[in-house]
Amino acid sequence: MTIQSSNIYSVDPQTSQKFYINGCWSSPAIPASLPVVNPATEEVVAQVAQGSAADVDRAVAAARAAFPGWSATCAESRALVLGKIHELILERKEVLAQALSLEMGAAIGSARAMQVPLAAEHVRVARDLLSTYRFQTVEGGTAIEREPIGVCGLITPWNWPLYQITAKVAPAIAAGCTVVLKPSELSPLSALLFAQLVHDAGLPPGVFNLVNGSGSEVGAAMAAHPDIDMISITGSNRAGALVAQAAAHTVKRVTQELGGKSPNILLPDADFAKAVPLGVMSAFRNVGQSCSAPTRMIVPKDRLAEVESLAAETANAIIVGDPRSEDTVLGPIANEAQFNRVQAMIEAGLSEGAKLVCGGPGRVQGFEKGFYTRPTVFSNVDTAMRIAQEEIFGPVLCIIPYETIDEAVVIANDTVYGLGAHVQSQNLDLARAVASRIRAGQVLLNYPAWNPMAPFGGYKRSGNGREYGVYGLEEYLETKAIIGFGG
């Protein structure tokens, strides 16, 4: 599968309609295909093979056959292959960025600066961990061994396609597992490029397998498959629940990274001139299509007018447009269903009486086609409103006022989600104290740099399990105690 870097619309129809199973490109058991729509133009730009349970069976059989050999390799050997994968991602970063821009509308600058480099970082971290991680420790007469769990089914979303693939594939194969990947059918092109890249890196046949298709067919077949030992899914709460239900019959491990409604508390002493613009841009990163986006800005009531002004100034200055343009900051929403969802939620905010600060319903002016959404800021939002409770997954920010810090913490925790959170304060001790009271898997103080070693995952309905770094690696390991090991 190839995409020419000089033309993001050039997709090889031969390889795009095949799966990668047991080290080879192979056709689906039942000939069928799925369209890939460019969200910037609403045109079909590619067709990819649509899988079935029979294709899952083939991929799982390949992974199961490869597991004894791969799990027995030394850490150094696995690190060498991961190192090659990392090198190839960086070598092919432009073609990967172009694919991401084509399939889900990522602004090309963002794809080059974030989507691809951060994906490569997950591979680098997994490689580097293999030089330090102790798969066996001995305490007294007991040895604790950490062993690969087996065949892993990996289900990834459309919003950060390559990034989420490497966040799962890299630690899984580092642990000694073999994998079957089902990328989102809405953004599958970068996954096909990744499969070719893995092949070129020399990963043994069967260690990595890819089957495209719908969640209702391929995803369900993977979740229920008796020869898959673990499922890791990043997606919606509905998808996570369905996968867990299907997996329950075989009592396999299920890790889920699901939805979020992350708060961003601006404490009274925060530098508002800095904190508000950065908060808006953090909420709108990737067109707001990030599960950990801080889309609830919780601010002192007596600073509300100031916050509204700063937020509107920032949002109105964002360049929304053709994702191929170097000047574009935000491209379109990634698909039609999500565009319609965002529009419906903006209308809900208006009907519930939230104050519209900027943006609003409808496409960005000048675009009759493409899922271009106006960066929207609501203020005076009540925490009971739908826009304050439901994940919107678009460039929509809710500003919620508070009178006391205790109230701010209550508002932050008033959600079924618990994935991420932000706290802004010039008093680090105060920020730390507030962070410790927030029920979320990750809290960021004063917009720190991204840390690929920091565990990422949720409380409550944001899922279970952790990704990234050591914690992400350990999700793919079983724990064995050998008592009497010391004699």
User: Please, which residues bridge with residue 230 across strands?
Assistant: 152, 253
Give CA–CA dist 312/306, Å, rounded: 10
Give CA–CA dist 223/39, Å, rounded: 29
The residue written with tokens 């029920």 in the block is: 439
Structure tokens of 393? 């997954």
SS3 274: helix
Q: Are strands 442-445 and 420-424 parallel, antiparallel or unpaired?
A: parallel
The active-site residue, picked from 152, 291, 358, 398, is 291
Closest CA to 85 of 189, 246, 196: 196
For residue 360, give Cα distances in angstroms to 103, 293, 306, 348, 423. Answer: 26, 19, 20, 11, 27
145 in Cβ contact with 482 (< 8 Å): yes
CA dihedral 95, 98, 102, 106 (to 10 degrees): 140
Q: What is the DSSP secondary-structure string of 119-178?
A: HHHHHHHHHHHTTT--SEEEETTEEEEEEE--EEEEE--SSSHHHHHHHHHHHHHHHT-E
Q: Is 257 a catalytic residue?
A: yes
Position 249: which residue type?
H
For residue 150, give Cα distances in angstroms to 77, 123, 225, 248. Answer: 18, 20, 13, 17
Torsion sign across C-alpha atoms 348, 353, 355, 358: positive
The active-site residue, picked from 103, 185, 217, 257, is 257
Instruction: For the chain, give the longest Cα–Cα distance.
Output: 77
Active centre residues (catalytic): 257, 291
